[in-house]
């Protein structure tokens, strides 16, 4: 399996992370990519440089005002003259009867769902590069590859059409799915990150052509807390095209595979032409976020179960944080997929 990757992700090196009132160094560090690269090397995957697609693929899923904000944000922040080293919103207007602001502090709050996606000098460049990685992987699959892995950083599945959040700025999985839609009438997204793919759900919630399925730690006790419940099924023409499968804290391999089986039934009924896997590895028993307890052998089983769907597949890297087992878990899930194919 080919793997798409660029070093441009390193320009995004966030520092701020607020956890229960305590400011810590974020877990979304450049070192994540190094450990994932080690996993790709162990699996003997061929690295491919991304094609630069420009704004088109991003504009299919993100609003024009949000893209303009991200492009202009850092220069406007610096121009304030007394600003910090990262952009962190201190207002969240929630948009009840609100007017879109012109001041950069107001725009920052308007476009931020939380404080977990600080913007630095190189964030926009890295986020754009990540969408190029995802789009390149999708294009390779459209051109005939059975499956391609996209090492995207920063991740994307918490990003809405016009809001950042949860370490995410541009929704790489949604961008890949929208690109696949150029060829396929229907596309499915299966999100196996420990967190609910709330941004992806929001982007496609009223659309019947993209099925969104998320298997994640129950939001009763886990981020994002206010999205990801089983009763969220889509709306309007998209009613029934969203499936959430929340899991109890500490869920291990066997119960996780049962959830994959439930997702498989829905995906098969939808009959998509291609599949995007939002590949979080943070369901690991060793992940520092400690929501679920999937073993390395379990990740291999997850890869094998996804392969049984028999669909052209784009793996888009989402979460998975610093642990000694991160690279091995990536090797396992891609290896399990290849062996079962």
Question: Which residues are annotated as catalytic?
Answer: 158
For residues 155 and 166, what is the distance between their CA atoms, to the nearest angstrom? 9
Task: Count CB atoms within 10 A of the CB of residue 72.
Answer: 13
Please, what is the angle between helix 326-340 and helix 31-42, to 10°? 40
- Residues sharing a CB contact under 8 Å with residue 262, sequence separation 6 or more, in sequence order: 245
**Contact between 306 and 265 (Cβ < 8 Å):** no
Three-state SS letters, 175-244:
HHHHHHCCCCCCEEEEECCCCCCHHHHHHHCCCCCEEEEEEEECCCCCCCCCCCCCCCCCCHHHCCCEEE
Residue 201 has which token pair? 């759900």
| Three-class SS state of 313 | strand
- Residues sharing a CB contact under 8 Å with residue 318, sequence separation 6 or more, in sequence order: 152, 155, 156, 157, 172, 173, 191, 193, 197, 278, 279, 280
For residues 201 and 305, what is the distance between their CA atoms, to the nearest angstrom? 22
Name the DSSP letter for residue 87.
Answer: B
Omega before residue 224 within 30° of 0, cis: yes
Q: Give the number of residues written for the chain.
A: 341
For residues 207 and 187, what is the distance between their CA atoms, to the nearest angstrom? 11
């Amino acid at each position: 399996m080919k793997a798409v990757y660029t070093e441009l992700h390193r320009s995004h090196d966030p520092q701020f992370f607020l956890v229960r009132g305590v400011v810590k160094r974020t877990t979304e560090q450049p070192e994540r990519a190094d450990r994932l690269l080690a996993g790709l090397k162990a699996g003997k995957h061929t690295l491919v440089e991304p094609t630069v697609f420009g704004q088109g693929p991003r504009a299919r899923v993100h609003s024009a005002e949000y893209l303009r904000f991200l492009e202009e944000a850092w220069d406007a922040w610096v121009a304030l003259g007394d600003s910090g080293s990262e952009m962190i919103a201190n207002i969240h207007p929630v948009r009840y009867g609100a007017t879109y602001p012109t001041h950069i502090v107001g725009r920052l709050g308007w476009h931020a769902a939380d404080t977990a996606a600080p913007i630095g000098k190189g964030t926009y460049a890295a986020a754009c590069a990540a969408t190029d990685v995802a789009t390149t992987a999708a294009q390779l699959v459209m051109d005939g590859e059975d499956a391609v892995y996209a090492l995207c950083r920063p991740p994307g599945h918490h990003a809405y059409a016009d809001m950042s959040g949860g370490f995410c700025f541009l929704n790489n999985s949604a961008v890949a799915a929208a690109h696949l839609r150029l060829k396929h009438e229907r596309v499915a997204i299966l999100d196996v990150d420990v967190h609910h793919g709330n941004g992806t759900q929001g982007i496609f919630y009223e659309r019947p052509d993209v099925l969104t399925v998320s298997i994640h730690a129950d939001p009763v006790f886990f981020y994002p807390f206010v999205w990801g419940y089983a009763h969220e099924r889509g709306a309007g023409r998209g009613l029934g095209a969203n499936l959430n499968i929340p899991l109890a804290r500490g869920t291990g391999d066997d119960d996780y595979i049962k959830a994959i089986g439930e997702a498989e039934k829905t995906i098969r009924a939808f009959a998509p032409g291609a599949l995007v896997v939002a590949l979080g590895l943070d369901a690991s028993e060793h992940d520092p976020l400690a929501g679920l307890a999937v073993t390395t052998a379990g990740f291999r089983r997850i890869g094998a179960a996804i392969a049984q769907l028999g669909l052209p597949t784009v793996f888009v890297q989402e979460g998975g944080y610093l642990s000694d087992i991160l690279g091995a878990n990536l090797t396992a899930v891609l290896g399990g997929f290849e062996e079962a194919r």
